[in-house]
């Protein structure tokens, strides 16, 4: 990534902040009008609050508008939050969440929606040094999950050559990455690490034998330690990309090569950070729940969608020259927070602690069990191949040091289990970090 900073749409990415705010207001007014006139759910919510579209005269008026939740989307299953009927010829594609804990959340896309999505992901390709001459290997899953097709559309908009691998068949992924001269990889962090480890097992030194130079990784948390592991093994610059199926998919925001926060595609989304309890806005720099409003979506516009993700707005300018504001990397979700003996802890915090131990690989699992009214937490980690696993004293020493760091940094005590290399199941998509085996009703 040597050389000058690359941009895909510099006229937007470096837009004067005042001009950008004016563009946001113009698009917000149109979105509010579209929602009010075309989606009964929003008309009812607006009427209950005594608000009409013409009452939105500044960006500050956004705070007067109602929130939208995942449950609202589930209740609207399948198409009751669409501004355009699903059988209308303008609707080109449907995406949905897995729906494993209730109705799926469904979003529709017009061709313009797809083009916007492609544009925002193409910005990410530029941010890792890619361009029209790049070969982009898409190893996100294709299907209802937005990752694969989102990255694919970005490659189309960039006019790059696309290798649509999807996930799975990792040895073949490795071989084609080398043989085809792939220079940009898009997948989850855990799968990128599996690809790197598999390449090494196959006898390659991917940092030197492969041409891949940039990785656009998202859909799950990734600690700085895991990032360094991926970058060192693959010889790449990794950027974190953010999105969620309800809002658009990957491309809502993305890091630049300076890795100092994710630039939000503010021409298409307004970001707010609110206190998850009071739902009041918090100052820049303060952690809270991320809320997004769409500004250009035609089929599935959303107003003030509560993502449940925890982040903050990073103040100040970025060295890359982009004027789009930056959000910090996601630290967790309000609905995946663990309460251990009264202490609130996110799974990603375990990952940050483990990053301080070179003897430990990036793969770990948190196993939750219960005995009567009490919850028990087991942290299962595995050592790197160089660690002498046959030396019992070394294993016990490592276990005690990890537990000591958890107590010191997180004020929690858990049962740390140290396992042999590759004993934790690998994932060809999102890693399964938390295993909940607690008894129902406790």
Residues spanned by CATH 3.30.300.30 within the chain?
338-436
What is the CB neighbour count within 10 angstroms for residue 77?
A: 15
Q: pLDDT for 178-193, tens place per residue?
A: 999 999 999 999 999 9
Percent pLDDT > 90 in the chain is 76
- Spatial separation of the C-alpha atoms in residues 378 and 376, rounded to whole Å: 7
pLDDT of residue 442: 40
Closest CA to 141 of 118, 164, 166: 166
Residues spanned by CATH 3.40.50.12780 within the chain?
10-16+107-333
C-beta of residue 190 within 8 angstroms of C-beta of residue 184 = no
Q: Which distant-in-sequence residues (6+ apart) come within 8 Å of 53 by Cβ?
A: 29, 32, 33, 36, 37, 46
CATH of segment(s) 338-436: 3.30.300.30
Q: pLDDT for 50-90, tens place per residue?
A: 999 999 999 999 999 999 999 999 999 999 999 999 999 99
pLDDT of residue 100: 53
- Spatial separation of the C-alpha atoms in residues 54 and 416, rounded to whole Å: 58
Q: Which of the following CATH numbers is that of domain 10-16+107-333: 3.40.50.300, 3.40.50.12780, 3.30.70.20, 2.40.50.140?
A: 3.40.50.12780
Closest CA to 242 of 292, 279, 183: 292
Tokens of 324: 């789009």
Q: Is the peptide bond before 78 cis (omega within 30 degrees of 0)?
A: yes
Q: Tell me the pLDDT band of 372, cut-offs 50, 70 and 90.
A: low
Mean pLDDT, residues 381-406: 89
CA of 297: how far to CAs of 34, 36, 59, 92, 300, in Å? 10, 14, 18, 13, 6
pLDDT of residue 371: 67
Closest CA to 326 of 379, 275, 273, 373: 273
Q: pLDDT for 9-37, tens place per residue?
A: 999 999 999 999 999 999 999 999 999 99
Q: Which distant-in-sequence residues (6+ apart) come within 8 Å of 24 by Cβ?
A: 59, 266, 267, 270, 295
How does strand 262-264 pair with strand 326-327?
antiparallel
Mean pLDDT, residues 116-145: 96
Q: pLDDT for 237-274, tens place per residue?
A: 999 999 999 999 999 999 999 999 999 999 999 999 99
CA of 326: how far to CAs of 215, 238, 318, in Å? 19, 17, 8
Percent pLDDT > 70 in the chain is 96
Tokens of 339: 């309460």
Beta bridge partners of 237: 214
pLDDT of residue 327: 98
Mean pLDDT, residues 87-96: 97
- By CB atoms closer than 10 A (0-12, 13-18, 19+), residue 417 is middle
Alpha helix locations (H) across 128-212? 146-158, 170-179, 189-201, 206-209
C-beta of residue 193 within 8 angstroms of C-beta of residue 185 = no
Question: pTM for the complete prediction?
Answer: 0.86
Residue 139 C-alpha from the chain's centroid: 15
Tokens of 148: 């694969």
Q: What is the mean pLDDT of the chain?
A: 92
- Spatial separation of the C-alpha atoms in residues 155 and 58, rounded to whole Å: 36
Mean pLDDT, residues 323-333: 93
- Spatial separation of the C-alpha atoms in residues 400 and 27, rounded to whole Å: 55
């Amino acid at each position: 990534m040597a050389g000058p900073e690359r941009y895909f749409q510099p006229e937007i990415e470096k837009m004067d902040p005042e001009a950008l705010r004016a563009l946001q207001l113009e698009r917000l007014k149109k979105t509010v009008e579209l929602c009010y006139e075309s989606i009964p759910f929003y008309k009812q919510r607006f009427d209950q609050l005594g608000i009409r579209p013409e009452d939105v005269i500044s960006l500050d008026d956004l705070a007067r508008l109602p929130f939208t939740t995942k449950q609202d989307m589930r209740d609207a299953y399948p198409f009751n939050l669409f501004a355009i009927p699903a059988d209308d010829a303008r609707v080109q594609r449907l995406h949905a969440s897995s729906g494993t804990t209730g109705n799926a959340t469904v979003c529709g896309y017009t061709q313009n929606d797809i083009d916007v999505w492609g544009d925002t992901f193409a910005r990410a390709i530029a941010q890792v040094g890619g361009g029209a001459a790049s070969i982009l290997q898409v190893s996100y899953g294709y299907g209802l999950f937005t990752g694969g097709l989102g990255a694919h559309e970005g490659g189309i908009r960039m006019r790059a050559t696309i290798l649509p691998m999807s996930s799975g068949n990792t040895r073949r992924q490795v071989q084609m990455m080398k043989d085809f001269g792939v220079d940009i990889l898009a997948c989850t962090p855990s799968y990128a690490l599996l690809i790197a480890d598999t390449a090494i097992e196959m006898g390659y030194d991917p940092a030197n034998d492969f041409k891949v130079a940039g990785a656009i990784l998202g859909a799950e948390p990734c600690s700085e330690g895991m990032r360094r592991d991926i970058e060192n093994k693959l010889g790449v610059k990794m950027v974190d990309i953010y999105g969620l199926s309800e809002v658009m998919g990957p491309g809502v925001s993305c890091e630049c090569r300076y890795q100092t926060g994710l630039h939000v595609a503010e021409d298409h989304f307004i970001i707010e950070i609110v206190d998850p309890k009071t739902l009041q806005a918090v100052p820049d720099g303060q952690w809270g729940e991320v809320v997004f409003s769409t500004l250009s979506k035609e089929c599935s516009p959303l107003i003030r969608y509560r993502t449940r993700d925890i982040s903050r707005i990073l103040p100040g300018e970025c060295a890359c020259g982009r004027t789009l504001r930056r959000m910090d990397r996601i630290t967790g979700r309000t609905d995946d927070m663990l309460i251990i003996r009264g202490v609130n802890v996110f799974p990603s915090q375990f990952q940050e602690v483990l990053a301080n131990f070179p003897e430990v690989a990036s793969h770990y699992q948190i196993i939750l069990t219960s005995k009567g009214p009490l919850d028990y937490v087991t942290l299962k980690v595995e050592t790197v191949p160089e660690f002498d696993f046959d030396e019992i004293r070394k294993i016990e020493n490592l276990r005690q040091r990890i537990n000591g760091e958890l107590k010191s940094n997180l004020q929690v005590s858990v049962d740390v289990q140290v396992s042999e290399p590759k004993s934790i199941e690998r994932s060809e998509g999102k890693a399964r970090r938390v295993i909940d085996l607690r008894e129902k009703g406790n």
